[in-house]
Structure 1
């Protein structure tokens, strides 16, 4: 993008996004509620050169409390990937994230796709779960078995418009590979993706994630809203 951006990463996971952005020269603030996750990322950050360490700030806190930590318009980009699926009421969180975006700033969301919940259990022959998925916004994580909440693109589109960060673009994520590792053809690699032919898998996912009708049945959705003003 040609300039140093101020990035807020809500939900650290392994810190992959935060570290990659810092290595690219951007200023990253990471907000994470789990103390053990924060500690693990601090350890990983300690191994980075001083210049990168100086560009990352780790804060232990809830993404719903952005008003307590940041001023309005404090960030050019807000990342909220894999977080909404753990939140029962997403609207207050999204409103708080939009509040800290500068005019023209990007709000990037990765969510479970509620419009495709029946597809995964159906493909693995779990017909009871497939039928139940038509009437419930909840599902089980294919990898961990944890209970997750899913969102519908139509609903999030309306929410983003209402908080002043209307949807600009959206993509499907894991169109073909959002299955338990045992159900994915080929020897499983990281995150259940076949280790053999990984480049081909990624190319197919990239193409499908941008193409209708495939992207609409992806296990995850990547939605990008842009703050008005």
Structure 2
């Protein structure tokens, strides 16, 4: 997914331009630090105090030049209007957050509000149109049948969360002034891989296959996750 994001950034902004990036629900700060290392000015927003502490520790281990490009704020994604002025950012990331938000429209509208004209909104969501794939491939036929008629599912952490449909988010993005520009599938072939699974010796081929499938129909339509890129009008 990082490569997809980099491709979208490279296509929209001049080479070498230092972008203002907001990472909403940044978790441990992996993406935020990666973009800061690339020279961008990054603000991370995270409501989980434990995650924020991990991100701060990781940031403290970075060189001074990178630390100076990152600001970390404890807060919820719904609070962007409290912390930031309209048009404050060139790129806004919201990865792995919407599944925990029961009604995401207000949050998304807030993200579009702080995005500058021509800016990029990057979303990573669970694919509601493919919820039957994981239990089906695991041989859990009852759960697979039930998944066809819902957007609710249980995460690997045992949490009851929700998924999003591509058509619904496409309409939402158009409605908030950041229409869908590109979308990809993520974890087409690897959704059943255990979190602790060792890195395979042919990992380069695996990643190449995932990237190819993630931008190719019909494979991307059954990916576990969807990466959507909207552009502020």
**Both structures adopt the same fold (TM-score exceeding 0.5):** yes
Match of 2:8 in 1: none
Q: Report how far residue 180 of structure 1 moved.
A: 4.8
Q: Which runs of 5+ in 1 are unaligned?
A: none
Distance across 1 between alignment mates of 2:209 and 2:158: 26
Any idea what the Cα deviations from partners look like across 1:48-94, whole Å, max 9, x if unmatched? 11111010000000011100000000000000000001111100000
Q: Which runs of 5+ in 2 are unaligned?
A: 1-14
CA RMSD of aligned residues (A): 1.3
| CA separation of 1:180 and 1:200: change in aligned 2, threshold 3 A | closer
Match of 2:191 in 1: 178
| 1:44 matches 2:50 | no
Any idea what the Cα deviations from partners look like across 1:102-157, whole Å, max 9, x if unmatched? 0000000000000000111011110111011011111222x433322100000000
| 1:53 matches 2:50 | no
Find 1:28's aligned residue among 37, 42, 60.
Answer: 42
Match of 1:167 in 2: 180
Match of 1:227 in 2: 232
**Corresponding pairs, count:** 219
Distance across 2 between alignment mates of 1:145 and 1:127: 19
3-state SS in 2 of match to 1:181: coil
Distance across 2 between alignment mates of 1:94 and 1:214: 27
Match of 2:144 in 1: 130
Match of 2:123 in 1: 109
3-state SS in 2 of match to 1:39: helix
Match of 1:94 in 2: 108
Find 1:154's aligned residue among 143, 167, 180.
Answer: 167
Match of 1:208 in 2: 213
Distance across 2 between alignment mates of 1:53 and 1:180: 34
